[in-house]
Amino acid sequence: MADERILLTGASGFIAKHVALQLLEAGYRVRGTVRTAEKGEQLRRTLAVHGADVTRLEIALADLMRDDGWDAAATGCDRVCHMASPLPMRQPRERLALVPAAKGGAVRVVEAAARAGAARLVMTSSVAAMSYGHGRKHTAPIGEADWSNTEAKDISPYAISKTEAESAAWAAANRAGLQMVAINPVLVVGPLLDDLSGASMQLIGMMMRGKMPAVPDVSLGFVDVRDVAAAHVAAMTAEDAVSRRFLLSAGSLSLMDLGRAIGEATPEYRRKLPRFVLPNALVRLAALVLVDARSVVAELGRGKTLVTEPARAVLGFAPKNPEAAIAAAARSLRERNLVD
């Protein structure tokens, strides 16, 4: 294992940097794809600061929307971790706006991995590919057999893109005879490795900046980025992981409870945190004109049971509780002066 090379796509992303760090610490060589040389150099500096042996890190330039570069990036790689996918700060108005990059990019990576003779591909998908678009009547636990309904009117463009991308990746991997594993986390939070926070930490940052004095009656699942990274590393070689989809969640909190967890970790921000819950009727009214509010409506007052036992049994997933993950995220944003 120590001499195996892992192709890590989208290596400059929030989660991917933690995966790169853990892969290097485990003795792998890593070839990380980024869209610009500047992002590659920033990645190298970040990992070096955190003690990684960056002599075992290579940088390759590739773009999800272009064929160029993927064969060169995959050549000589024993395994592939596909993490690159568009994650906008705001939802686009067009339902399918994110699909070309997410779906097309996934197929490009899978096919390049197969041509390179990689032993396995681990793909970062999302709970968004499993649990959305089924309406309030769907109350059964969500697990690896579940897929989001991309035809639903209330599903977000992001959830559509993750569902389409993962489905296309499975089809391409099956055609090519490539071993594949999918990792499907809930909202990933935790400590930053540099000052680039990304969209997954946006919710916590907005609360700490006082941008959300009121919140809808919605609950979300949370998981620590370090636990997500460890699951990716384990999925590279776990014997029973092939052809499985692993949902990762440490637990769910309401948005009000999220604010309270932030306040416990960073008391100086308590006055900026949410103070009351918006009436459901007002949220439904806002959804008539605001794209970001439309996907919230179906989740109002609704909890979901997420099945994480397979990840615990096969990948050794043993997550920190959601409050600890949120505390680490809030302290990291504060320490890096990203919320003042």
Q: What is the CATH number of the domain that holds 114?
A: 3.40.50.720
Confidence of residue 296 (pLDDT cuts 50, 70, 90): confident
Q: Which of 41, 88, 39 is nearest to 62 (CA)?
A: 39
| 67 located within any domain | yes
Catalytic status, residue 162:
yes
Q: Are 6 and 81 in contact (CB under 8 A)?
A: yes
| 292 located within any domain | yes
Residue 267 token pair: 């008391």
| 86 located within any domain | yes
Please check the confidence at residue 276 and state whether its pLDDT lies above 60. yes
Please check the confidence at residue 1 and state whether its pLDDT lies above 60. no
User: Which of residues 286 and 214 earns the better pLDDT score?
Assistant: 214
The catalytic position among 162, 272, 304, 320 is 162
Q: Are 87 and 43 in contact (CB under 8 A)?
A: no
List pLDDT tens digits, range 17-35: 999 999 999 999 999 999 9
Please check the confidence at residue 228 and state whether its pLDDT lies above 60. yes
Confidence of residue 293 (pLDDT cuts 50, 70, 90): low
Residue 266 token pair: 């960073």
Mean pLDDT of 296-322: 89
User: Which of residues 261 and 157 earns the better pLDDT score?
Assistant: 261
| 157 located within any domain | yes
pTM tops 0.75, yes or no? yes
List pLDDT tens digits, range 48-101: 999 999 999 999 999 999 999 999 999 999 999 999 887 766 677 788 888 988
User: Which of residues 98 and 107 earns the better pLDDT score?
Assistant: 107
List pLDDT tens digits, range 127-156: 999 988 877 666 789 999 999 999 988 888
Percentage of the chain surpassing pLDDT 90? 78
- Look at residue 11 in the predicted model and tell me its pLDDT: 97
d(CA 131, CA 145): 10
| 340 located within any domain | no
d(CA 264, CA 282): 29
Residue 176 token pair: 């090519």
| 59 located within any domain | yes
Confidence of residue 303 (pLDDT cuts 50, 70, 90): confident
Please check the confidence at residue 117 and state whether its pLDDT lies above 60. yes
Query: Torsion over CA of 150, 247, 14 and 89, rounded to 10 degrees?
Result: 30
Domain that holds residue 330: 5-335
- Look at residue 3 in the predicted model and tell me its pLDDT: 81
- Look at residue 155 in the predicted model and tell me its pLDDT: 86
How many domains does one find in the chain? 1
Residue 62 token pair: 């590739």
